[in-house]
Protein backbone atom coordinates (compact mmCIF):
# COMPACT_ATOMS: atom_id res chain seq x y z
CA UNK A 1 0.00 0.00 0.00
CA UNK A 2 1.26 3.48 -0.80
CA UNK A 3 0.52 6.14 1.81
CA UNK A 4 0.20 9.89 1.38
CA UNK A 5 -1.01 11.97 4.32
CA UNK A 6 -2.42 14.66 2.03
CA UNK A 7 -0.16 17.41 3.37
CA UNK A 8 1.31 20.11 1.12
CA UNK A 9 4.34 20.38 3.37
CA UNK A 10 7.05 18.51 1.48
CA UNK A 11 8.83 17.68 4.73
CA UNK A 12 5.73 15.86 5.93
CA UNK A 13 4.72 14.42 2.58
CA UNK A 14 6.02 10.92 2.11
CA UNK A 15 5.26 7.68 0.34
CA UNK A 16 5.95 4.15 1.35
CA UNK A 17 5.04 0.58 0.59
CA UNK A 18 3.78 -1.41 3.55
CA UNK A 19 2.50 -4.93 4.10
CA UNK A 20 -0.19 -5.66 6.67
CA UNK A 21 0.04 -9.31 7.63
CA UNK A 22 -2.18 -10.30 10.55
CA UNK A 23 -3.45 -13.41 12.21
CA UNK A 24 -6.45 -14.79 10.40
CA UNK A 25 -9.76 -15.52 12.03
CA UNK A 26 -9.23 -17.86 14.99
CA UNK A 27 -11.52 -20.55 16.34
CA UNK A 28 -9.52 -22.84 18.61
CA UNK A 29 -10.47 -25.64 20.95
CA UNK A 30 -10.36 -23.05 23.73
CA UNK A 31 -10.80 -19.39 22.82
CA UNK A 32 -9.89 -16.69 25.30
CA UNK A 33 -9.32 -12.93 25.48
CA UNK A 34 -6.56 -13.00 22.86
CA UNK A 35 -8.79 -14.73 20.30
CA UNK A 36 -11.55 -12.16 20.88
CA UNK A 37 -9.16 -9.28 20.11
CA UNK A 38 -7.79 -11.08 17.04
CA UNK A 39 -11.30 -11.80 15.76
CA UNK A 40 -12.39 -8.22 16.46
CA UNK A 41 -9.52 -7.09 14.23
CA UNK A 42 -10.63 -9.47 11.50
CA UNK A 43 -14.23 -8.27 11.80
CA UNK A 44 -13.12 -4.64 11.45
CA UNK A 45 -10.85 -5.41 8.49
CA UNK A 46 -13.64 -7.37 6.81
CA UNK A 47 -15.97 -4.46 7.47
CA UNK A 48 -13.36 -2.12 5.98
CA UNK A 49 -13.02 -4.32 2.88
CA UNK A 50 -16.78 -4.38 2.30
CA UNK A 51 -17.02 -0.61 2.71
CA UNK A 52 -13.85 0.30 0.79
CA UNK A 53 -14.22 -2.09 -2.13
CA UNK A 54 -17.74 -3.41 -2.51
CA UNK A 55 -19.87 -0.58 -1.18
CA UNK A 56 -17.87 2.16 -2.90
CA UNK A 57 -18.04 0.26 -6.18
CA UNK A 58 -21.82 0.33 -6.05
CA UNK A 59 -21.81 3.99 -5.03
CA UNK A 60 -19.65 4.80 -8.07
CA UNK A 61 -22.19 3.12 -10.39
CA UNK A 62 -25.03 5.07 -8.82
CA UNK A 63 -23.10 8.35 -9.08
CA UNK A 64 -22.44 7.71 -12.79
CA UNK A 65 -26.11 6.94 -13.41
CA UNK A 66 -25.32 3.40 -14.54
CA UNK A 67 -28.22 0.99 -14.51
CA UNK A 68 -27.33 -1.36 -11.71
CA UNK A 69 -29.09 -3.87 -9.51
CA UNK A 70 -27.67 -3.45 -6.03
CA UNK A 71 -25.89 -6.46 -4.53
CA UNK A 72 -26.75 -7.13 -0.86
CA UNK A 73 -23.61 -6.87 1.24
CA UNK A 74 -22.76 -8.42 4.61
CA UNK A 75 -22.87 -6.04 7.57
CA UNK A 76 -20.53 -6.69 10.50
CA UNK A 77 -21.76 -3.68 12.48
CA UNK A 78 -23.99 -5.63 14.94
CA UNK A 79 -21.21 -8.10 15.73
CA UNK A 80 -18.59 -5.37 16.18
CA UNK A 81 -21.02 -3.46 18.41
CA UNK A 82 -21.53 -6.50 20.63
CA UNK A 83 -17.79 -7.16 20.94
CA UNK A 84 -17.09 -3.54 21.87
CA UNK A 85 -19.94 -3.70 24.36
CA UNK A 86 -18.61 -6.87 25.97
CA UNK A 87 -15.12 -5.38 26.21
CA UNK A 88 -16.50 -2.14 27.67
CA UNK A 89 -18.21 -4.16 30.40
CA UNK A 90 -14.89 -5.90 31.04
CA UNK A 91 -13.22 -2.51 31.54
CA UNK A 92 -15.89 -1.52 34.05
CA UNK A 93 -15.44 -4.76 36.00
CA UNK A 94 -11.65 -4.37 36.02
CA UNK A 95 -11.91 -0.78 37.23
CA UNK A 96 -14.24 -1.73 40.07
CA UNK A 97 -11.97 -4.62 41.05
CA UNK A 98 -8.93 -2.31 41.11
CA UNK A 99 -10.81 -0.14 43.61
CA UNK A 100 -11.44 -3.04 45.95
CA UNK A 101 -14.96 -3.98 44.89
CA UNK A 102 -15.82 -7.68 44.64
CA UNK A 103 -15.58 -8.61 40.95
CA UNK A 104 -14.60 -11.77 39.10
CA UNK A 105 -14.89 -13.38 35.68
CA UNK A 106 -18.25 -15.00 36.46
CA UNK A 107 -19.79 -11.66 37.41
CA UNK A 108 -18.42 -10.19 34.21
CA UNK A 109 -20.00 -12.93 32.10
CA UNK A 110 -23.25 -12.42 33.99
CA UNK A 111 -23.31 -8.75 33.01
CA UNK A 112 -22.58 -9.60 29.37
CA UNK A 113 -25.37 -12.17 29.34
CA UNK A 114 -27.81 -9.76 30.97
CA UNK A 115 -27.14 -7.04 28.41
CA UNK A 116 -26.74 -8.97 25.17
CA UNK A 117 -28.43 -12.36 25.39
CA UNK A 118 -31.80 -10.84 24.47
CA UNK A 119 -30.52 -9.88 21.02
CA UNK A 120 -31.26 -6.16 21.49
CA UNK A 121 -27.89 -5.22 19.96
CA UNK A 122 -28.80 -6.93 16.69
CA UNK A 123 -26.29 -9.74 17.17
CA UNK A 124 -27.47 -12.18 19.79
CA UNK A 125 -24.83 -13.72 21.99
CA UNK A 126 -25.56 -17.23 23.12
CA UNK A 127 -24.53 -19.21 26.18
CA UNK A 128 -21.87 -21.84 25.51
CA UNK A 129 -23.01 -25.36 24.85
CA UNK A 130 -23.06 -27.58 27.94
CA UNK A 131 -20.07 -29.83 28.41
CA UNK A 132 -20.88 -33.45 29.05
CA UNK A 133 -19.75 -34.80 32.39
CA UNK A 134 -18.28 -38.31 32.66
CA UNK A 135 -20.64 -41.22 33.45
CA UNK A 136 -21.53 -41.66 37.12
CA UNK A 137 -19.70 -44.94 37.57
CA UNK A 138 -18.98 -45.88 41.18
CA UNK A 139 -21.71 -43.72 42.71
CA UNK A 140 -24.47 -45.12 44.83
CA UNK A 141 -27.88 -45.54 43.32
CA UNK A 142 -30.03 -42.44 43.50
CA UNK A 143 -27.11 -40.04 43.93
CA UNK A 144 -27.61 -36.73 42.10
CA UNK A 145 -24.88 -36.17 39.55
CA UNK A 146 -24.50 -32.99 37.53
CA UNK A 147 -24.48 -34.39 34.01
CA UNK A 148 -23.56 -31.15 32.30
CA UNK A 149 -22.04 -27.84 33.18
CA UNK A 150 -21.87 -24.51 31.39
CA UNK A 151 -18.47 -22.93 30.99
CA UNK A 152 -18.31 -19.29 32.02
CA UNK A 153 -18.34 -17.60 28.65
CA UNK A 154 -20.45 -16.94 25.57
CA UNK A 155 -20.75 -17.62 21.85
CA UNK A 156 -20.38 -14.86 19.24
CA UNK A 157 -21.57 -15.38 15.69
CA UNK A 158 -18.73 -13.92 13.61
CA UNK A 159 -18.75 -13.50 9.83
CA UNK A 160 -16.60 -16.63 9.67
CA UNK A 161 -18.76 -18.69 12.00
CA UNK A 162 -19.61 -19.17 15.66
CA UNK A 163 -16.86 -19.04 18.26
CA UNK A 164 -17.21 -20.08 21.90
CA UNK A 165 -15.20 -17.88 24.26
CA UNK A 166 -14.19 -18.94 27.76
CA UNK A 167 -13.82 -15.87 29.97
CA UNK A 168 -11.46 -17.35 32.53
CA UNK A 169 -8.70 -14.91 33.55
CA UNK A 170 -9.94 -12.06 31.36
CA UNK A 171 -9.90 -9.46 34.11
CA UNK A 172 -6.24 -10.11 34.76
CA UNK A 173 -5.38 -10.14 31.05
CA UNK A 174 -7.17 -6.83 30.47
CA UNK A 175 -5.13 -4.95 33.08
CA UNK A 176 -1.88 -3.59 31.66
CA UNK A 177 -0.85 -1.77 34.81
CA UNK A 178 2.33 -2.98 36.48
CA UNK A 179 3.14 -2.43 40.14
CA UNK A 180 4.74 1.00 40.81
CA UNK A 181 8.06 -0.55 41.85
CA UNK A 182 8.37 -2.28 38.46
CA UNK A 183 7.53 0.93 36.59
CA UNK A 184 10.20 2.80 38.58
CA UNK A 185 12.74 0.11 37.79
CA UNK A 186 12.04 0.36 34.04
CA UNK A 187 12.10 4.17 34.01
CA UNK A 188 15.41 4.11 35.87
CA UNK A 189 17.05 1.91 33.24
CA UNK A 190 20.22 3.16 31.57
CA UNK A 191 18.98 1.65 28.30
CA UNK A 192 17.08 4.33 26.37
CA UNK A 193 14.89 1.80 24.55
CA UNK A 194 13.90 0.05 27.77
CA UNK A 195 13.23 3.38 29.45
CA UNK A 196 10.65 4.28 26.80
CA UNK A 197 8.61 1.25 27.84
CA UNK A 198 7.98 2.73 31.26
CA UNK A 199 4.93 4.71 32.34
CA UNK A 200 5.65 7.73 34.53
CA UNK A 201 2.08 7.80 35.80
CA UNK A 202 2.37 4.20 36.96
CA UNK A 203 5.19 5.05 39.38
CA UNK A 204 2.80 6.73 41.78
CA UNK A 205 1.17 4.67 44.51
CA UNK A 206 -1.87 6.95 44.13
CA UNK A 207 -2.33 6.25 40.42
CA UNK A 208 -5.25 4.22 39.09
CA UNK A 209 -4.42 0.54 39.50
CA UNK A 210 -6.15 -0.35 36.25
CA UNK A 211 -4.87 0.38 32.74
CA UNK A 212 -7.09 -1.01 30.00
CA UNK A 213 -5.40 -3.30 27.49
CA UNK A 214 -8.64 -3.22 25.51
CA UNK A 215 -8.57 0.56 25.14
CA UNK A 216 -4.96 0.61 23.95
CA UNK A 217 -5.65 -2.20 21.48
CA UNK A 218 -8.82 -0.70 19.99
CA UNK A 219 -7.26 2.79 19.80
CA UNK A 220 -4.34 1.38 17.81
CA UNK A 221 -6.75 -0.59 15.63
CA UNK A 222 -8.70 2.55 14.75
CA UNK A 223 -5.46 4.40 13.96
CA UNK A 224 -4.45 1.61 11.61
CA UNK A 225 -7.82 1.66 9.84
CA UNK A 226 -7.61 5.44 9.38
CA UNK A 227 -4.17 5.04 7.84
CA UNK A 228 -5.40 2.25 5.56
CA UNK A 229 -8.21 4.51 4.39
CA UNK A 230 -5.60 6.93 2.99
CA UNK A 231 -3.67 4.29 1.08
CA UNK A 232 -3.87 2.70 -2.33
CA UNK A 233 -4.70 -0.84 -1.30
CA UNK A 234 -4.16 -4.19 -2.97
CA UNK A 235 -5.57 -7.31 -1.34
CA UNK A 236 -4.14 -10.81 -1.22
CA UNK A 237 -6.63 -13.33 0.11
CA UNK A 238 -5.09 -16.38 1.77
CA UNK A 239 -7.15 -19.51 2.34
CA UNK A 240 -6.30 -22.38 4.62
CA UNK A 241 -6.46 -25.68 2.65
CA UNK A 242 -7.57 -27.69 5.69
CA UNK A 243 -8.09 -27.30 9.42
CA UNK A 244 -5.82 -30.20 10.39
CA UNK A 245 -2.61 -28.44 9.29
CA UNK A 246 -1.94 -31.45 7.08
CA UNK A 247 0.30 -31.25 3.99
CA UNK A 248 -1.02 -32.14 0.52
CA UNK A 249 -4.63 -32.11 1.68
CA UNK A 250 -7.16 -29.80 0.04
CA UNK A 251 -10.52 -29.78 1.82
CA UNK A 252 -12.96 -28.39 -0.76
CA UNK A 253 -15.81 -27.73 1.65
CA UNK A 254 -13.52 -26.02 4.13
CA UNK A 255 -11.96 -23.78 1.47
CA UNK A 256 -15.34 -22.97 -0.09
CA UNK A 257 -16.63 -21.94 3.32
CA UNK A 258 -13.75 -19.46 3.66
CA UNK A 259 -14.35 -18.10 0.16
CA UNK A 260 -18.00 -17.44 0.98
CA UNK A 261 -17.32 -15.97 4.43
CA UNK A 262 -14.81 -13.33 3.35
CA UNK A 263 -17.06 -11.70 0.73
CA UNK A 264 -15.32 -13.13 -2.33
CA UNK A 265 -18.61 -14.30 -3.85
CA UNK A 266 -20.12 -10.80 -3.66
CA UNK A 267 -16.94 -9.36 -5.16
CA UNK A 268 -16.96 -11.81 -8.09
CA UNK A 269 -20.66 -11.16 -8.75
CA UNK A 270 -20.05 -7.43 -8.73
CA UNK A 271 -17.09 -7.70 -11.07
CA UNK A 272 -19.02 -10.04 -13.37
CA UNK A 273 -22.12 -7.88 -13.66
CA UNK A 274 -20.38 -4.54 -13.24
CA UNK A 275 -17.51 -2.62 -14.78
CA UNK A 276 -14.27 -3.72 -13.12
CA UNK A 277 -11.89 -2.14 -15.64
CA UNK A 278 -10.84 1.48 -15.27
CA UNK A 279 -9.38 3.44 -18.21
CA UNK A 280 -8.39 7.12 -18.01
CA UNK A 281 -10.32 9.16 -20.56
CA UNK A 282 -7.06 10.57 -21.96
CA UNK A 283 -5.90 7.05 -22.88
CA UNK A 284 -9.27 6.30 -24.43
CA UNK A 285 -9.22 9.44 -26.58
CA UNK A 286 -5.61 8.89 -27.62
CA UNK A 287 -6.38 5.39 -28.86
CA UNK A 288 -9.71 6.08 -30.55
CA UNK A 289 -9.31 9.74 -31.51
CA UNK A 290 -9.70 9.08 -35.22
CA UNK A 291 -13.08 7.45 -34.59
CA UNK A 292 -14.47 10.15 -32.27
CA UNK A 293 -16.34 13.36 -33.03
CA UNK A 294 -14.11 16.44 -33.19
CA UNK A 295 -15.39 17.83 -29.88
CA UNK A 296 -13.63 14.96 -28.04
CA UNK A 297 -10.19 15.60 -29.58
CA UNK A 298 -9.10 18.15 -26.97
CA UNK A 299 -9.56 15.65 -24.13
CA UNK A 300 -6.17 14.05 -24.73
CA UNK A 301 -4.34 17.27 -23.94
Reported as a single tens digit per residue, the pLDDT across 59-81 is 888 888 888 777 777 788 889 99
* E strands in 227-296: 231-232
Q: Which helix (H) or strand (E) holds 253?
A: helix 252-261
List, by residue range, all CATH 1.20.58.530 domains of the chain.
33-130+150-175+210-236
In this prediction, residue 27 carries a pLDDT of: 83
Neighbouring CB atoms inside 10 A of 93's CB total 24
CATH assignment, 33-130+150-175+210-236 = 1.20.58.530
Low-confidence winner among 5-19, 211-225, 226-240, 241-255 (lowest mean pLDDT): 5-19
Q: Is the pLDDT of residue 104 over 90?
A: no
Q: Please state whether beta strands 131-132 and 148-149 pair in parallel, antiparallel, or not at all (unpaired).
A: antiparallel
Q: Give the best-scoring range by mean pLDDT among 154-158, 206-210, 249-253.
A: 249-253
Across the chain, mean pLDDT equals 78
Torsion of CA 21, 175, 214, 208, to 10 degrees: -130
Say how far apart CA 261 and CA 181 lie, in whole Å: 48
Say how far apart CA 243 and CA 256 lie, in whole Å: 13
Low-confidence winner among 28-42, 51-65, 178-192, 235-249 (lowest mean pLDDT): 178-192
List the one residue out of 291, 279, 257, 275 whose CA is nearest residue 57. 275
In this prediction, residue 146 carries a pLDDT of: 39
Q: What angle do CA 253, 75, 155 make, to 5 degrees?
A: 65
- Residue 162 sits at φ, ψ, to 5 deg, of -75, 140
Amino acid sequence: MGYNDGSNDMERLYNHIGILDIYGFESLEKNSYEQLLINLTNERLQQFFVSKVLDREQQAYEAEGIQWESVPLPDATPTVKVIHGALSILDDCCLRASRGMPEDDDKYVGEVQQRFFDGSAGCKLKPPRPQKAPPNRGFRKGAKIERAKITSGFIINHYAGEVTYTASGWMEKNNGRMVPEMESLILGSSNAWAKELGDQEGCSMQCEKFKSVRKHFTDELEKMLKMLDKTGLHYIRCFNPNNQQSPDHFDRRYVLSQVIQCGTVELVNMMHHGYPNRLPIKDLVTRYKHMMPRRFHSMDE
